[in-house]
Amino acid sequence: MTERSTQSRRARYALAGAVASSLLAASFFPSAATATPTAAPTLSPAVTAAAKPAPQENTIPLPDGLKPAHESVFWENSEACASFSFDTLERFDEEPVEYTNASSPVLGCSEDFVAFYNKSDEYYIQLSQDEIDGSYEGAMFAAWDGSRWILLSDYDGAWSYPQLRVFSNASGAALQEEMSSQLQPQGVWVSNIEHLVGPDAAIWTSNVPAESWERQKLPGQPGVTAEIRDDWKIYENRWFDDSPDMITDRFGNFHLSLDYTTTTDEVPGECYLADSTYRIKKASSTEMTANGQKLNVAIVELAELGQISYRIMLVPESASKSGLLCDIDQWLSVGSNGYLNPMIKGNFRFVSQKEINAFTKSVAWKDIVRFAGSLQFS
């Protein structure tokens, strides 16, 4: 295999979530220490922590065609939240605002603050490598000054809870403190953080059963078909040639990926995570086979560089419950002449066995098992 193809494959692994989460953090998100934000405006006393009324417990439907980033977006029943619109959002430097309902799903509105994604995963995956000129996936914030909504910063100010979990080993109160430390430098103070930035959960995705399923071709993976939910969308990854197809859920979140090749030169001959260990936390059987063995869909706990994260992978039925990741993190020989990357969902992090148990009873897990078990190669 040539040096160029090896480098291309490594880059594709990174973008699919298969390399160290620390590398992903460096690639996608500017840190508060390195970013150079423009100074936020001085807000009126109406939006200071001391002057805010207690948040209302009732929530209202999203106004003005806004799109939710997850199923449980809290939108406070207040005049300020009801008036939020990207069309009227202002920057303190009076430059145009580059956010729309289609590109920027909202996370929540509470106590005169709004949080939203800079750009959705769905927007991001449709960019070519040349079009990527910075981070797009962080959370942005706006504040109500009593008469208008003003953008608080012009860089990605925070990670959402699913993102923050991957880049931190904290949980519970310690994780909430880390979330607070992201918000406070931007002047964001709320009594209930999850009302503003969404739930503290490993994965944000739909837990509502599909209305229908349909077998579809995967556009960037010739000869591969799978059953797809009616509200999933398949995108041929434009970041690199022959990159994984990415499947987004109904919120536009990265949900599943698939990387298949019939060219042996594209299959890495080495394992890049030689010191990483794994533990299979849950496995469901499928009718798929590779190298003469049936495959399971498995939730795999990964210990790497002091960080704990999780993946959903296809693993041989005979795989040990734990061991070195390189023992199972190899390309699978499937179909008549193809090779499949076993990872179908990249890095995320549970914080307890209780969370894992709840997830394996969810619609989302059943959907993933159905998708993986339906894969066909020709």
Q: What is the pLDDT of residues 163-216, one digit of tens each?
A: 999 988 899 999 999 999 999 888 899 999 999 999 999 999 999 999 999 999
Q: Are residues 184 and 212 in the same domain?
A: no
- What pLDDT is stored for residue 243 in this prediction? 80
- Residue with token string 């480098």: 7
Q: Are residues 137 and 188 in the same domain?
A: yes
- What pLDDT is stored for residue 348 in this prediction? 96
Q: Which residues in the chain come in under a pLDDT of 50?
A: 1-56
Which of 197, 224, 254 marks a domain boundary? 197
CB 296 within 8 A of CB 49: no
CB 246 within 8 A of CB 257: yes
Residue 21 lies in a domain: no
Residue 188 lies in a domain: yes
pTM, rounded to two decimals: 0.83
What CATH number does the domain containing 281 carry? Answer: 3.40.1000
CB 131 within 8 A of CB 119: no
Residue 24 lies in a domain: no
Structural domain containing residue 278: 3-16+206-377
- What pLDDT is stored for residue 41 in this prediction? 36
Q: How many domains does the chain have?
A: 2
Q: What is the DSSP string of 270-305?
A: S-S-TT-EEEEEEEEEEEEEETTEEEEEEEEEEEET
CA dist 236 → 8, 104, 117, 137, 311 (Å): 16, 21, 22, 19, 21
CA dist 303 → 134, 277, 354 (Å): 29, 5, 19
Which of 144, 169, 197 marks a domain boundary? 197
- What pLDDT is stored for residue 285 in this prediction? 96
- What pLDDT is stored for residue 292 in this prediction? 85
The rounded distance, in Å, linking the Cα atoms of 7 and 26 is 18
Residue 23 lies in a domain: no
- What pLDDT is stored for residue 319 in this prediction? 94
Q: Are residues 250 and 175 in the same domain?
A: no
Residue 322 lies in a domain: yes
- What pLDDT is stored for residue 14 in this prediction? 39
